[in-house]
Amino acid sequence: MSGAIVQLGDVRDQAQVEDAADVVIIGTGAAGATAARVLTEAGLDVVLVEEGAHVGPEQLRSDMWSSFKHVWRDLGFQVASGRAITPILQGRCVGGTTAINGAIIHRMPEKIWARWRDEFGLGAALPYAELERIWQILDRELFVGPAPESVLGKNNSLMRTATERLGIAGNLIQRNVKDCEGSAHCNQGCPTGRRQSMNVSYVPRAVAAGARVYATCLASSLVTRHGRSTGVVGRFRDPLTGVRGPKLVVHARRAVLLAASAIQTPLFLAKNRIGVGSGVLGKRLQAHPGTAVVGVFDAPVEMYRGATQGYESVHYWDERMKFETVAMPPELAMARLPGLGPELMRELASYAHLAVWGVQVRAEAQGSVRAGVFGGTQIEYDMTDADIRVLKLGVRRLSEMMFAAGARQVLPGVHGLPPAISSVDELAPMFDAPDDPRLFHTIAAHLFGTALMGGSAFNSVVKPSFETHDLPGLHVVDSSVFPTNMGVNPQHSICALAWLAAERLV
């Protein structure tokens, strides 16, 4: 069959849309698109179902709100509740979160894999050598390479200066970008289509090989026959207005793959009463929460020029923290800047002199996700006291790095501290304060663990073969199956596991 991307506008007048394929995949992010890439090129017929819209670079605007509207989940307002309210960042579009992330590529650290092998018995199911073989292919196909000097920009080069002066390890970030222009617009959706997110790489590649993508279509239930998953039912729906379109029924001759993310996958499974008896479905939600530190420099930084995220330090990875640059657009920087009224407007006027770097914590906290009362999503996540202590130390170290790079002031963004400091000694009260997430404004990205992989249906949802314990023919191939977080950006690991799962279906 010929491939196509079909959206609500294409089928609005139809009563029902029906299709059939060897494999039906729910989700077009890192996992779903990669599985489609493998399966189509092995000669299988594939259909992908995606809740969000297909948004091309020509449809993207440069402001953050337009991006929130069209490619972010809940317009950027998805949050987890706990002691503090924590924004949970996810894309909702063809390409999923790969369409809005900073293009950071890491392989799963071997220490993490060893933990999966030793504590969760997954060594034989996920051989590291196999993952390395797949990463090599992914590196080649997704143009993975270090951020080029030509688009580094000062926000990134200043972090390099800091690491060199302090004698700590730092490196140019490995990114999946081809001929990056350095527009610092990764999080709005790459305006030039240079980032090799799934919407410009594996989804078009699968479509070219015959896959059909039903975008703006929310998968709601499974078709089953003789105790086996044989298809998916969904409904076209405008992601912004909620206006409903026709029903979609897709029959799967071989398998259904669930790749909807660690938030939506457990919700879909719970709705279809799969994995509920495990006691872990929707639980064990793990993430990489983090916060940003702002430095004020005398010379212009102009973080709107250069790669959004081009430099990082994993020097303190064993202490559960990772530092990375993040060029923050003025809409988000303004919300992060201290002060109200004239003070805020003066801070904003110095935007060109600001550098923003983030600390990402490999948190030990575990949260949960379940359906909300009125059809929404209820996410609960609360960093532990130990996580907060890591965050405090991370803020201190980032502040030291800012000063080492030449910052005149640092805006730590911690409640109870001065809005601007001139020395890290001024951070001392933070360590005397209770270990409370409400001291900070944190965000959480990189979500894992809500449909755990394991050997028993009594304490896991998915077998080491990626098939669910409860329903043959249904496979979960996204980061829901990860037993732990990783301390590095997970896209490449998600792709590799999905690739492995897809290869086993061929």
Known catalytic residues? Answer: 446
Complex with other proteins: residue 13 or 58, whichever CB lies closer: 58
Question: Which residues face 21 on adjacent strands?
Answer: 252
Cβ distance to other proteins smaller for residue 208 or 335? 335
Residues 6+ apart with CB under 8 A from 203: 5, 28, 33, 36, 48, 94, 95, 211, 213
Nearer to other proteins, 376 or 429 (CB): 376
CB of 331 to other proteins, least distance (A): 4
CB of 447 to other proteins, least distance (A): 19
Q: Between residues 124 and 373, which has the closer beta carbon with respect to other proteins? A: 373
| Closer CB to other proteins, 227 or 341, in the complex | 341
- What number of residues does the chain have? 506
Q: How far is the CB of 352 from other proteins (least distance, A)?
A: 4
Between CA 84 and CA 122 the distance in angstroms is 34
Q: Beta strand pairing status for 228-237 and 244-258?
A: antiparallel
**Whole-angstrom distance, CA of residue 399 vs CA of residue 424:** 7
Query: Residue 169: CA atoms inside 13 Å, Cβ hemisphere, count?
Result: 7
In the complex, the residues that contact other proteins under the rule CB under 8 A are 61-66, 68-69, 74-75, 77, 83-85, 183, 185, 191, 240-241, 300, 302, 304-305, 329-335, 340-342, 344-346, 348-349, 351-352, 374, 376, 415, 438
In angstroms, the Cα distances linking 229 to 1, 21, 204, 254 are 23, 13, 27, 9
- Assigned token pair, 445: 């990205």
Write down the least CB distance from residue 94 to other proteins, Å.
19
Contact 30, 498 (CB under 8 A): yes
- Give 247 or 305: the residue with its C-beta nearer to other proteins: 305
Alpha-helical regions (H) of 173-274: 202-208, 261-271
Rg for the chain (alpha carbons), in Å?
Answer: 22
Question: Minimum CB separation from other proteins for residue 266, in Å?
Answer: 20
- The alpha carbon of 417 is separated from its chain's Cα centroid by a whole number of angstroms, namely 31
Q: Considering the complex, what minimum distance in angstroms separates the CB of residue 153 from other proteins?
A: 12
Contacts of 202 (CB under 8 A, 6+ apart): 33, 34, 36, 37
